[in-house]
Amino acid sequence: MARREKYKFPKPTIERLSYYFRALEDLSKRGIDTVSSDALGTKLNIKSSQIRRDLSYFGDFGKRGMGYDVKFLLKELRYILGLDREWPTIVIGAGNFGTAMAHYSGFKKRGFDVKAMFDIDKDKVGSKENKVPTLHMNDLDKFIKENKIEIAMICVPETAAQEVTDQLIKNGVNGILNFAPIALKHDKEIRCLSVDLTTKLEAIAYYMSYSKDKLWKIFS
């Protein structure tokens, strides 16, 4: 089966591939060998046509009337998502949120190996919980180079996020997951995704407070 490299597709497709991957993992653990796009769509509340369209960007995985081979599709999605290898990762910011990210066991299962946390707070530096040490920011440059760090999660205040980003990029970290509520500036080749949890809550608040007398409508 030929994979379609560098094919253009909508960004939301990647997130949905992750959903498909998790669902297939569950099916595989339950001993299910094949699954149709209809069954997968029902499980994920996603239209079967959307699933077929997403997968078609990367190759031909299913057979009409037979569905998808669960183990084969899992293997292919693992390759497509880059989960067939380990990603040396660090967390910048050893506050409550950063610590929670560093200690989340789900990352390790997906190949994201959190090597260390970094902070400027002397009271936090030197601790080692769940085998993840907290180091001083002064040691960041050296640590990145020695451990070939490729991904960093930024869990620092908004005022420090851009400076941290610049330092990471300068040292060759090209994958950044930013939790600070700020739009980071970086070159196009840097893969930077921002997750602002406050905006997500604000969106929920809008939907929760939406009523028929409001003028603004929601188009799905």
Q: What are phi and psi of 192, to 5 degrees?
A: -125, 120
Closest CA to 89 of 195, 180, 173, 213: 173
Q: How many CB atoms lie within 10 A of CB 17?
A: 19
Name all domains of the chain by residue range, CATH numbers in brackets. Answer: 12-80 (1.10.10.10), 87-200 (3.40.50.720)
Checking if the pLDDT of 193 tops 90, the result is yes
pLDDT of amino acid 38: 94
User: Percentage of the chain with pLDDT > 90?
Assistant: 75
- pTM assigned to the model: 0.85
Sorting pLDDT into bands at 50, 70 and 90, what band is 9?
confident
pLDDT in tens, 26-51: 999 999 999 999 999 999 999 999 99
Planar angle of CA 121, 186, 191, nearest 5 degrees: 90
Tokens representing 167 are 């330092």
Distance between CA atoms of residues 180 and 102, nearest Å = 16
Q: How many CB atoms lie within 10 A of CB 95?
A: 16
Distance between CA atoms of residues 128 and 37, nearest Å = 45
Closest CA to 44 of 63, 69, 27, 29: 27
Amino acid 56 reads: S
Distance between CA atoms of residues 170 and 164, nearest Å = 10
Planar angle of CA 140, 146, 148, nearest 5 degrees: 90
